[in-house]
Structure 1
Amino acid sequence: MKASPLAVAGVVLASTAHAQVVQFDIEKRHDAPSLCKRDATIDGTLSNQKVQGGYFINVEVGTPGQNITLQLDTGSSDVWVPASTAAICTQTSQRNPGCTFGSFNSDDSSTFQVVGENLFDITYVDGSSSKGDYIEDTFRINGINIQNLTMGLGLDTSIANGLVGVGYINDEASLGTTRQTYPNLPVVLQQQKLINTVAFSLWLNDLDASTGSILFGGIDTEKYHGDLTRINIISPDGGKTFTEFAVNLYQVQASSPSGTDTLSTSQQTLTAVLDSGTTLTYLPQDMAEQAWNEVGASFSDELGIAVVPCSVGNINGHFAFTFAGADGPTINVTLSELVLDLFSGGPPPQFSSGPNKGQSICEFGIQNTTDAPYLLGDTFLRSAFVTYDLVNNEIGIAPTNFNSTQTNVVAFASSGAPIPSSTSAPNQSNTGHSSSTQSGMSAASGFHDGDDDNAASLTGAFSGPGMIVVGLTICYTLLGSAVFGVGWL
């Protein structure tokens, strides 16, 4: 949901299916798709639109199939597509290029049927929305046919691209209208015996990689380092109802050659949602500001985000995220993964004043928010291999193996089986977090020159081409949660 419709081109699909094993491949290339096989899993390669944000997968909807590119989103639960008759698709302009990711014409599908007229309704926290019908039609990913999949059809939408939501059914938008759930894509894959259990693994690869992958029904032991550690998913009501992939974020530390600082927060409980549909990482206001101070970033009033000199991405340092208690797994996110270009094409904008005058401006991958739940988006997830187990309500997590060319897929043994090759984190805590007891920030000098005025001056005006594109990118980056039904995007 954070991607601009300016970006996707030449995304090609490949898939595999074999005795409850299916592999999905999606990548930017123009040659014919190749097919390969995996046992009891579905593995798909995702195209990385790193500037506009998000990871995308090509699908076909209807009979005959209509090609549409959809954003993969672990933070929502519905598949939905924009209707070809929606105003955002037909009324194009310089600022609205239309539905360049594709749209769906129901009149051209012989298998189309409406199952919930005017019952698809999602409104996001920034006011963007998509409304229309619930439909059933053929849904095809890389040659894998799913008959009569329930989807949303966006007839009146302010969002130009649809989504593939793979979250819990208890977060479906239908709960806001029909008060009922339906089998969504991950559930249907298990019902059709393409995978053994409702689970998938996500490997986004590094910031500069054009592709990542999603593996339904299994793990790939070549895509991570060390141990795959299981941590609990947190229920919002403390019971057995699960709606989002929320986990306890126990501690965040900033480490540079000069030392390590523990970031503190006034929040009593620090719960974070692992969400591939969010481009950036959003931490509590006080914690985010400490992260900015570490790297010399500052909030830009002009852009409405924290910005940083692009050169910071070359500094040796990282932020360490620890989960579910002091003995839980830790994921290190380097600065090279946290400094993002503001737009593609042409030279970047530059600071026009202050100590960074003349330096290129980049977006910082850790932003601030005042409301829980807090979000660990793509700027975090690229550094982790994450398995989402929707049956046992657990997350498996390990440091990613960037740019791995090897594969060793291990399927879940059965429905409800534990995540393969994993161990449970000891002494887990679902609440609470570590707080800093340091009065100073010793690591900060290793990230930047230590001039406290440096960060504050970053809010000055800047110059350079592409500001319209910058504004569009920021708009997509800041799309938030649904008011009802869908989780974070």
Structure 2
Amino acid sequence: MRTVATLATGALVASVAQAQVVQWDIVRKHTGPKLTRRAGTFTEVITNEKVRGGYFASCSVGTPAQNLTLQLDTGSSDIWVPSSSASVCEQTSSSSDGCSLGSFDESESSTATVVGENEFSISYVDGSHSKGDYITDTFQIGGAKLTNMTMGLGTSTDIPYGLVGVGYTLNEAIIGTTHSSSSQYDNLPVLMQKQGLIATNAYSLWLNDLDASTGSILFGGIDTEKYKGDLTRINIQKDASANAFTSFIVSMTSVQATSSSGTDTLSSATFPIPVVLDSGTTFSYVPTDLATEMWNEVGAEYYSEVGLALLPCSMENSAGHFSFGFGGTGGPVINITMDELVLPLTTGGAVTFPSGPNKGQEACQFGVQNFSSDSTTFLLGDTFMRSAYVVYDLVNNQIGLAPTDFNATKSNVVAFASEGAQMPSATAAPNQAAVSESASTTTGSLGASGGFLNDKSSDGSSLPPPLDWSRIAVMGASMSLVLDKDGLDSSRGLRTLESEDEGE
């Protein structure tokens, strides 16, 4: 899955020791090349764009190497790069700087081979797309070089950068074109294992907090210093329609809200809720009934005109938090604090609520939004995943979860011992087999909400300029893009919201 972002190109650094673990470090800003070394790792910078979301890796493609910055995405499975001949890369204007993150000129690579002419095609809910050829070429991440890497080449695209998808091969775009599982190919993590860079098809993700400058994705192992408490394994669910593993769907079995006023157990008719753990989406999307309860806890208001729940930016200072539970009783629980759930509306100046109880206060977006309750799968994006250390084991079809250790400075990398080996240092959730399909019981009150609201700090003495509602639709669109082919709700149309300020 993908969110729109504009950011500076990251720097490429590398460290090569043993061919068992590959690590990409995440940085929020360009810091220049630096070399770090630890046993069995390759390190490369990725860039976190705070406001619009997304984690980007500096890679290189072809011979001689051409540098590109691509979005890392656990919710899709293809690497694709924009072609230098694509019109979006040739267009520059006051609102577009073309393919500033790099593009690929296949004619300049002596190792590029077209293997699927006009067979690459991927589209998104907002209407953006990328189409073109499948090619094979060399692909470098840090000092590690993969040969004959299959990638999409976007010759007709309106997206000015490409993606690095690391999901199941059955989720590759080519499957949607041919409607045949026999079309799947060895994508990045599979080829890493086959070419001896890692022992098994598995990786762990540490995004760190919203304001952090460092984080990492570690292929082939875990880092025991990047999480707190126990690492717990839960099973990935098969896609019901395909009866196969196509995406990282796990069972979310509880959500609680805790503040100085107490703890509320929230309800939804959809529990246990199937959710995809997806680094390529900024927000988290849950059933409308659950989202509404979460909004009520924090005083967020839903604006149907733009399909977004908004709240005062001062709520990021609230001491309340939400606890997401997985795999039933005894399963992993991840706490999400409010400073991870309050996101700016725009990259420009402050905007305010034009009316209502929050009139005059600066407006922000709440990090949990809604999908309609008839959706088959829901989504936990970066607003959730920054608070979790997540291990993806694509061989045993398991996810490992533990509370993240924000801004950890130590490292202890443990590689998977062999292909199909169990996740290091992890224990299985003890009661996930007993998780029922019945809905949770509504508590009847939201007593904890008072603590969320009372904890906020805003004296209202200095009010920003009036809210420009037209800018919300732009940010809302960029933050709610999901892949149509994943079966997620694609009916979330965005409309321009006219000003409701009483003075207009």
- Structure 2-normalised TM-score? 0.89
Aligned to 1:446: 451
In the alignment, the residues of structure 2 paired with residue 213 and residue 467 of structure 1 have an alpha-carbon distance, to the nearest angstrom, of 36
CA root-mean-square deviation:
2.5
Give the Cα separation in 2 of the matches to 1:60 and 1:487: 34
How far has the Cα of 1:240 moved from its partner?
6.4
1:464 positional shift:
4.9
Cα distance in 2 for residues equivalent to 1:31 and 1:267: 47
Return the alpha-carbon distance in structure 1 between the equivalents of residues 421 and 430 of structure 2. Answer: 19
8 Å Cα contact 2:316-2:338 kept in structure 1:
yes
* Aligned partner of 1:261 among 248, 261, 264: 264
Q: Which has the higher contact order (CA 8 A, sep 6+)?
A: 1
- Kindly indicate whether residue 330 of structure 2 is the aligned counterpart of residue 333 of structure 1: no
Question: What are the equivalent positions in structure 2 for 1:243-392 lying under 5 Å apart?
Answer: 243-267=246-270, 269-301=272-304, 303-344=306-347, 346-370=348-372, 371-392=375-396
What's the CA shift for 1:296?
0.3
- Aligned to 2:199, which of 180, 193, 196? 196
The 10-residue stretch of structure 1 (316-325 or 353-362) with the greater mean CA deviation from structure 2: 353-362
1:394 paired with 2:395, answer no
Structure 2 residue 149 is matched with structure 1 residue 146 = no
Q: Distance in 2 between matches of 1:240 and 1:412?
A: 27
Instruction: Provide the residue aligned with 1:235 in structure 2.
Output: 238
The alignment status of 1:212 with 2:215, answered yes or no, reads yes
Deviation at 1:326, TM superposition (A): 2.0
For structure 1, which segment, 134-143 or 394-403, has the greater mean C-alpha deviation from structure 2 after superposition? 134-143
Q: What one-letter code is carried by the residue in structure 1 that aligns with 2:386?
A: R
TM-aligned CA deviation for residue 212 of structure 1 = 1.7
**Equivalent in 404, 409, 412 of residue 408 of structure 2:** 404
Equivalent AA in structure 2 for residue 349 of structure 1: V
Instruction: String of CA shifts for 1:6-49, please: whole Å, max 9, x gaps.
Output: 3224444334342423333353334333141323x555553211
Distance 1:291 1:93 in 2: 41
> Quick check: 1:272–1:376 contact (8 Å CA) kept in 2?
yes
Query: Is this contact kept in 2: 1:14–1:34, CA < 8 A?
Result: yes
List alignment gaps of at least 5 residues for structure 1.
451-461
**What pairs up with 1:407-446 in 2 under 5 angstroms?**
407-429=411-433, 432=437, 435-446=440-451
Q: Which runs of 5+ in 2 are unaligned?
A: 456-464, 491-504
Q: In the TM superposition, what is the alpha-carbon distance from 1:86 to its structure 2 partner?
A: 1.3
- Give the stretch that moved more between structures: 239-248 or 291-300: 239-248
* C-alpha contact (below 8 Å) 2:120/2:152 kept by paired residues: yes
Change (3 A) 1:167 1:302: same
Change (3 A) 1:11 1:306: farther
Residue 481 of structure 2 corresponds to 479
> Which 10-residue stretch deviates more, 305-314 or 346-355?
346-355
Q: What letter is aligned with 1:421?
A: S
Q: SS of 1:177's equivalent?
A: helix
User: What pairs with 1:77-92 in structure 2 (closer than 5 Å)?
Assistant: 77-92=77-92
Q: Give the Cα–Cα distance (whole angstroms) in 2 for the partners of residues 353 and 487 of structure 1.
A: 31
Question: What is the TM-score with the length of structure 1 in the denominator?
Answer: 0.91
Q: Matched residues, percent identical?
A: 54
SS in 2 for 1:53: coil
Following superposition, the deviation at residue 4 of structure 1 comes to 3.9
Q: Which deviates the most, 301-310 or 250-259? A: 301-310
2-structure distance, mates of 1:439, 1:486: 30
Shift in alpha-carbon separation, 1:132–1:149, aligned structure 2, 3 A: same
